[in-house]
Amino acid sequence: MEACPIPVVTVQTVPYDDQKPGTSGLRKKTMVFESKKNYLQNFIQSVLSSIDLRDRQGCTMVVGSDGRYFSRTAIEVIVQMAAANGIGRLVIGHNGILSTPAVSCIIRKIKAIGGIILTASHNPGGPGGDFGIKFNVANGGPAPDTVTDKIHQISRTLEEFAICPDLRIDLSRLGRQDFDLENKFKPFRVEIVDSVDVYLNLLRSIFDFSAIKGLLTGSDQLKIRIDAMNGVMGPYVRKILCDELGAPANSAVNCIPLEDFGGQHPDPNLTYAASLVEAMKGGEFGFGAAFDGDGDRYMILGQNGFFVNPSDSVAIIAANLPCIPYFQQMGVRGFARSMPTSTALDKVAKAMKVTLYETPTGWKFFGNLMDSGRCSLCGEESFGAGSDHIREKDGLWAVLTWLSIMAARKQSVEEIVRDHWARLGRNYYCRFDYEGVDQKAAFFMMRDLGAVITDKAFTRQKFAVGNSVYSVEKTDNFEYTDPVDGSVTKNQGLRIIFTDGSRIIFRLSLTGCVGATIRIYAESYERDPEKLNRETQAVLGPLIGIALKISEIHERTGRKGPTVIT
């Protein structure tokens, strides 16, 4: 306890008009937070002020980061401002490290009012990289629009913030640190907790660890390769997969969290996790996985580099939930996927006679469904999957689910995927990302494309490409009515649905920190057993050609091709 009470200071400030959180919080170039006066403090004050004063006084919040550059500085400011704003207790990961799933887990476990996560997810880090601040609410999930709108409104008129500039904490020392503050009746408490333990205990209650350990250590030991991409997942992989489940230490690579992720892009896909792909192609390892910066996204690879499309992964997990003790006990209530995700999950839902919900992109939409007991499993095509054990997508949960399925079925990754296709058909699927596009060019391209495809005449169009003819059945700009609270979310992506079930989707994303990202999705369903093993790009080539032609994306953006193909 401090000998003298620490003063609470009120600092005058000037509001910023660009602090509207997106689907994944507020993301900017790191230099914006570092160089703009009080930019960080303004946003933190807006977050804290969005919590009703009566709820805020004496409450508990969780704070964690993915370890990227500027996180320690930001955590110190958050601690100082939380104390000054009446928060009673902060629970912070050791050295500031907590994965996004672990933050959600701890919020729910200790019944905190919410949490602040310092991450820009799969975006690069370092002084020249990106930084982000995300606020999760009491259910452990991302703040809904009502909360983020309130934060934005406060940020636009903010004139002052409260802070205890003399308050200092030691992030390296586990345990409690108490502080007396001026004009406060109760001390302010900071608890530094092990980054992994609470989350590990939750996973133990979900999975049969002995079965997974048998798979990784038995006579027919499965050799695995896990790439933490120098993000937050290093300590989790080491402690859970290696120490707890017996995988050899050399199974895990890039497990030291680095402020700049080793100069790499911590995005688990075929482009940015190329070193894992190459390692898997050698045939030595039977299972491979990579995680993004904050641990909520994942990629699965089989022997010889066999790639599991994220949409297929969610569907296969859904079809094999009886392998998981948690679902044996809890049952399966429903599935949900984001609109751009392939309809492979729909086929599983139909076979299992389970309700399927199609939502906009953004995990917050799944939270309402899970809180109301409608949904047990959800997923997105952007390498995210999770269940109702928390309210975030969860990369390690997905990896342990895959290992559980392999242990139960005694099959390889590729065998499991091909069996799934043989039973329910294959959804050929790909995504083209055009990153860093000029925002005005992207906006006008999407606006004009929307006008074209939603015109009544377009629904009578037929496109002949080679031997294929695609007849348009339906077009729209996707909107979603939440079945729980009736809220309506509009303008969530342009859809072209053809009579054979094929789809082309266009989405504009602003979660990057430089320019806009235009995403094009193409999907075609195949039931014929003789046509399940074709090359994805060959099958989808005609649809991609149609998408490029009607959008004029290369002409409108000046690009010659996509940045990333998934």
Q: How far apart are CA 394 and CA 105, in angstroms?
A: 10
Burial 375-391 (b: 16+ CB within 10 A, else e): bbbbbbbbbbbbbbbbb
Non-local CB neighbours of 235 within 8 Å, separated by 6+ positions: 97, 195, 196, 255, 257
Tokens read off for 280 = 């898997």
Residues 431/424, Cβ–Cβ less than 8 Å: no
> Which of these, 141, 427, 395, lies nearest to 269 by C-alpha position?
395
Q: Give phi and psi for 559, each to the nearest 5.
A: -90, 155
Which letter does DSSP use for residue 244 in this model?
I
> Which of these, 248, 254, 256, 257, lies nearest to 224 by C-alpha position?
248
Tokens read off for 176 = 């409690």
Burial 184-195 (b: 16+ CB within 10 A, else e): beebbbbbbbeb
Strands of 26-29's sheet, edge to edge?
26-29, 130-137, 114-118, 60-65, 89-97, 188-193, 175-179
Non-local CB neighbours of 412 within 8 Å, separated by 6+ positions: 286, 302, 303, 406
Q: Any bridge partners for residue 472, and if so which?
A: 498
Non-local CB neighbours of 448 within 8 Å, separated by 6+ positions: none
Residue 463: enclosing H or E segment and its boundaries? strand 462-465
Residues 71/171, Cβ–Cβ less than 8 Å: no
Non-local CB neighbours of 498 within 8 Å, separated by 6+ positions: 470, 471, 472, 473
Tokens read off for 198 = 């609470």
Residues 173/192, Cβ–Cβ less than 8 Å: yes
Tokens read off for 175 = 């345990």
Catalytic-labelled residue, pool 65, 99, 104, 121: 121
Determine whether 121 is an active site residue: yes
Q: Where are the alpha helices (DSSP H) in 111-262?
A: 145-157, 197-206, 209-217, 234-236
Q: Which residues are catalytic?
A: 121
